[in-house]
Structure 1
Amino acid sequence: MSTARRATAMAALVLGACWATRAAHAEDTITLMVGGIDKIIYLPAILAKQLGYFEQPGLDVNVVTEPAGVNAEDELIAGAVQGVVGFYDHTIDLQSKGTEVESLVQFASAPGEVELVAAAHAADIKTPADFKGKSLGVTGLGSSTDFLTQYMAKKFGLNRSDYHLLPVDADMTFINAMRAHRIVAGMTTEPTASELLSTGEAKVLIDLRTEAGTREALGGHYPAGCLYMRAAWVNAHADAARKLTHAFVRALQYIHTHSAEQIVAQLPRSYYEKRKALYVHALKAYQFTFSVDGRMPADGPRTVLTVMSAIDPSVKATDIDLSKTYTTAYLDDAEK
């Protein structure tokens, strides 16, 4: 073989080895998509990443964001990501469509959402019955804020055609939509809610940031933020699933053993920018709503199913196997 041909062959071998290494690394990397990474309700995801809880047991975890949880769900189904940090209700929604996903760890027993009304319309909108003819903000169509808004409107006698839902994501896009009068009310999370409340631009209509408010509005505990993954992936990667679960539980425990100021100090500056005091204030209000152990509240799945089946004809309560929408196997292992 000539020197030139030998050099070409060697280059091909080296290039092939590089591509093989990259492919192997890609297969080993677990990508988690968060439905709005700077939302306080999903704090355990970035906290586990920042504190090294994924890396310490040997996991290579990439945490990415997508403002609307419904889009993160789509990425999971497409196989672009291995897990989603989003609302538990998507596990029920997807099972009704023939796809089995399960929650591995629950973050809280209250959604952490709040229905805000623009201050200029607060006198006209006293209950969801007053949504008729109005434009309401949600993070995305088919999102959990969409589900909850529809349920509350129906509970007060409205049909879906009686109001308009406008997808406005969260944070500044939500705030700007309210300031520009594109929406008169909307459902959002912290710290977006505190931003509008602190300036007096909005008032609280329904508060789902506490267990008491959630029980009053929805009839029971409403497990929301969680890590959910395709059941097939979990079954094929039990060790990785166990390590992920343990990492999130450690993050939850950190939240309960540190001050809001200490927690915020661990976050990227981009989370709060010039609103650090506001972020700390909002976290203090929600901090102890987070679960200590990541377990599913006993009445939670049934409450969520009641909400979902009330607004979506395709979600038939008799056809949903709630035992397949979450698992405690890796939580049990963590306690052992």
Structure 2
Amino acid sequence: MWEMVSTKVIYAAIPISVVVAIGLLRKWRSRGWAKCLSTTCLRGKTFIVTGANSGIGLETAKALVRRKARVILACRNVAKGKEAIAEIRKEQPNGGELIPMQLDLASFTSIENFVSIIKAGFYKIDCLINNAGVVIPLKDDVKTQEGFEIHLGVNHLGHFYLTNLLLDLLKRGSPSRVVIVSSTLHEKGKLDFSDLNLRKEIEKAKEGKTDARHNPGYSNSKLMNVYFMKSLADKLRGTGVDVNACCPGFCYTSLFRYSIRWYHYILMAPVFLLFMRSAQQGSETVVFCATEYNIEGQTGKFYRDCAEYQSKYPFDNDEEIKLWNVSDEMVKARKPL
């Protein structure tokens, strides 16, 4: 009888031991994930966070409001933005001001309407955080309202246009900042200026001739983000507007909802548990770039884990200049090249 009881106790203890072991492994793995230690009061400062109703954007908004900032939640769906505000208020009833505003980065008209409202209501902007982004399988062939490939249109062109329209307000807020949320996946990007809309890749994807695990549209758009950061930083030197990019790391958010199925989480559970950060953990470097006093005046840099990161991508000055010029032409023409 005692042997039976002992056996049951052992069997019952095994799952608990596994859970504890996984927890310890994750804690060990996350020890290198930096935290933003800045606690500077941001009262009186205005921040715009695109895609602030969920994921990293929401956690970034929470961190800024905790520091008493005024945060404009620029969301494609205003109702979800209001829900996000209600969630934040439950946690922080005495935090900074929260303002939901509609912004669809897949529409130049929406971007223009958003900027016109901002300019009517605010004299200056202290920080613009270009966080919103999409990852959609190429085979779905999704386009923006202007007809651009969705990753090019939203992740790059949308923020390119938005930022340029807000430059006068950012200059008035000097010292101010632009933070561009990119990814180290930019190192896998490859720009073909004869086909930035990826028609060749999309056709191959439709025929099942591509690796579904790699989305060149997303990687390319993250490379464009870094090039945009570098170009804008150079153009704004001496104005008091710092421009930097960052990688939040591989995070558990809704960003990959079109690419990762439920069974992937089961098959890849050990990898996800060890390498996938929470949205809050991913937001730390974004908040660092937006608030850390010690990096004020430093511009044109890429950050990861709250520290400067040296990219492995072989950046080319001619490619950088060409991307800016082509992007400007696309915005002005309002049609894909």
TM-score of the two chains, using structure 1 as the length reference: 0.32
The structure whose residues are more often strand, as a share, is 1
TM-score (norm: length of structure 2) = 0.31
- Identify which of structures 1 and 2 has the higher relative contact order when contacts are C-alpha pairs closer than 8 Å and 6+ apart: 1
